[in-house]
Structure 1
Amino acid sequence: MHAALRYRFKWAIGHFLVSALILLVVGGLIFFVWYPHPYRVLAGGLNLFLLVAAVDVVLGPVCTFAVAAAKKPLKELRMDVALIALVQVGALSYGAWTVFQARPVYLAFEIDRLRVIHAIDVDPGLLAQSAPEFRSLPVRGPELVAVRPFASATERMEVTMAALQGLDIGARADLWVGYDTQTQAIQSAALPLSALLAAKPEAVPMIQAGLASAGLSLDGARYLPVASRHAFWTAILSPLDARPVLFLPVDPY
C-alpha cells in the first residue's frame, strides 16, 4: 500500500476507534435505559441508534481520511481533525437529544390493549392536568400506567373524537392512573392465549418457546395486544397482577 494511503488509514482508523468507543457508551444508554427490550423495536430505538451510528462512526472517520494528507503539517492536521471531531460531537449530541425526546415513557393500558407512549406524544397542557405523580415523565425507561374509566358518556365521546384526530387515548395524561389500580379491568380485557394460538398457527412454536423461557403455562394464560407506531406485538400477562411478563413479536390482529 502506498505510504500516503497508509497514513490516511492510520488517522481514519484511530478516529474510528475513538468514535466507536463513544458510540458504545451512547448505545448502552439508549438500549439499557431509554429503550430496553422490547422498546428498541416497538419504539424504533434501533433505527434511531443506527442513524446516530452512521454519523458517529462513518462520517467522522471518512472526513478524517479525506483531510489526512501526509504532506500536511501535523499542527494543521490536528486542527482539522479537532474541527471534524467538534462537528461530530455536536451532531452526536443532537442525535442523542432527539433519541431522548422520542423515548418511550409509558406502556399504557387503554380499554382493550397496551400502547407504547413516547415523550413527544404527551401534550404538555394535559400533562399539567394529570395527577402529581405523572407530571414528570420517566427518564430511566418506560413505566406502566393505565387510563381510568370514563367519567361520563360526554367524556367518552370527547376522548374518542380526539383519538380520531391523532391523540391516542393512552397518551391522555389527564386520564392516567396507576396501573395496579386497574388490575381487574385489565384482567377482564385480556384474552385467553389459546385463542391467539388458534388464530395464529404459524406463531405457535414461537409462543410456546416464549412461555417455556418465561416459566409460564399455557393453561389460563392471557394476553393483550401491544400497539406502537412501528408494529403490533403481544404481551403475555402475569396471572397474579396482570403485569406484562413476556413480549412476543406476534401481531394479534
Structure 2
Amino acid sequence: MNFYLAKAKIKAAAVHAIASLILAGICGGLVFYVWFPGQLSNMLRGTEMYWLVLLVEVILGPCMSLVIYNPSKSLAGLFRDYGVIVCVQFAALGYGLYVVAQSRPVYVVFVKDAFEVVTSLELDKKDLDEASSPEFEKVSWIGPKEVCSESPQDSKEKSDLLFSALEGRDIQVFPKYYRFCSEGEVNKAFLSSERLYSIIAQNVSYDHFKKQLPVGGFYWLPVKHRFGAGIRIYPLGNMESYYLPLDPYS
C-alpha cells in the first residue's frame, strides 16, 4: 500500500468516525437525558446494551471504511459499498434504541411510602386500556411521569391484586389504580437525612455517596425497581429532586 492510498483511507475513516460520533451523541442525548434522566440510567441498567451498540457503531463503521475505501474506485462502487456499511450501522443502532426503548421508565408510582419505577416492558396493552384516566392510557416518550396509586376498595379486586402481587405483578403495573398525587401527599412519607447517614455508616461501600448528598440538608424516599432499589433525594430549598443508586434495604 503506497503512502497516498494509506493517507486517503485514514482520511475517509476519520470522516466516517466523526459522522458516527455525531450520530451517537444525538442518540445518546435522547437516551440519557430524555428516556433515562439523571441516575435512572445506572439504576435500571437499561443502557448497558446501548453502550455496547454505540461501541460497535463508533468503531466498526470507521474500520470498515478504512478497509473498503479506495479513491480509484468508481463513484457508483463507493456508493454501493458505503450503502451497505450505513445499512449495517443503522440496523445495529436501531436495534440498540429499540432494546433501550422497551426498558425505559415510563411511570414513577408512589405506593404507600416508596416509589416504584415502572418500565415500558412491564405494562401490558390490556392494562393500559383499563387505565383510570385517558392520561394514563399511553406510555411516555419524554421521560417518566410521576403518579400516585389508589388501592382498590372492592373485595374481589383486593383478592385479585393480592394473587397478582404473589406472581410478581403488584399495584404499580396496573394503570387503573393510577391517579395524580395530591399536594403534600408524597412529603408526608419523607425520611430524615439522619436515617440515610445511618444506613451509609453501616455499609462501607456506600461511603462515596456522601459526596453526592446536599450540604444544606435533605429528605429522601426509597425507590424500588425491577433490578433492586435506590433512593430519591429531596434537597431543602428550591433544588430539584434526584436519584442515587444506593439500596437502602441492603
| Shorter-chain TM-score range | 0.7 to 0.9
Matches of 2:160 and 2:221 in 1, distance apart? 25
Counterpart residue type for residue 147 of structure 1: S
TM-score (norm 2): 0.83
Q: 1:211 corresponds to which residue?
A: 214
Structure 1, residues 6-31: CA drift from partner, whole Å, max 9, x if none? 33322222211111111111111112
Q: CA deviation at 1:188?
A: 4.7
SS of 1:166 mapped into structure 2: coil
TM-score (norm 1): 0.82
Q: 2:222 corresponds to which residue?
A: 225
Structure 1, residues 90-132: CA drift from partner, whole Å, max 9, x if none? 3323332332232211111123321211112111111111122
Matches of 2:98 and 2:55 in 1, distance apart? 16
SS of 2:148 mapped into structure 1: strand
SS of 2:246 mapped into structure 1: coil
Q: 1:175 to 1:166 in 2, by over 3 A?
A: same
RMSD of Structure 2 on Structure 1 (CA)? 2.8
Matches of 2:49 and 2:170 in 1, distance apart? 22
Q: 1:22 to 1:208 in 2, by over 3 A?
A: closer
Counterpart residue type for residue 63 of structure 2: V
User: What are structure 1's unaligned runs of at least 5 residues?
Assistant: none
Alignment partner of 2:233 out of 228, 233, 236? 236
Q: 1:144 corresponds to which residue?
A: 146
Q: 1:248 to 1:39 in 2, by over 3 A?
A: closer
Q: 1:80 corresponds to which residue?
A: 81
- 1:28-177 matched pairs, under 5 angstroms: 28-69=29-70, 72-130=73-131, 131-177=133-179
Counterpart residue type for residue 232 of structure 1: A
Q: 1:199 to 1:99 in 2, by over 3 A?
A: closer
Q: CA deviation at 1:159?
A: 1.7
Are 2:38 and 2:242, in contact at CA under 8 Å, matched by a contact in 1? no
Q: More deviation in 19-28 or 61-70? A: 61-70
Are 2:231 and 2:245, in contact at CA under 8 Å, matched by a contact in 1? yes
Question: Percent of aligned positions with the same letter in both sequences?
Answer: 28
Are 2:43 and 2:245, in contact at CA under 8 Å, matched by a contact in 1? no
**Which of structure 1's runs of 4+ aligned residues deviate more than 6 A?**
none
Q: CA deviation at 1:229?
A: 3.0
Q: More deviation in 187-196 or 73-82? A: 187-196
User: What are structure 2's unaligned runs of at least 5 residues?
Assistant: none
Q: 1:207 to 1:155 in 2, by over 3 A?
A: farther
Q: More deviation in 107-116 or 195-204? A: 195-204
Q: CA deviation at 1:141?
A: 0.8
Q: CA deviation at 1:234?
A: 1.2
Matches of 1:114 and 1:45 in 2, distance apart? 18
Count of equivalent residues:
243
Q: CA deviation at 1:157?
A: 3.5
Q: 1:205 to 1:8 in 2, by over 3 A?
A: closer
SS of 1:174 mapped into structure 2: helix
Matches of 1:227 and 1:27 in 2, distance apart? 25
Counterpart residue type for residue 80 of structure 1: D
Q: 1:247 corresponds to which residue?
A: 243
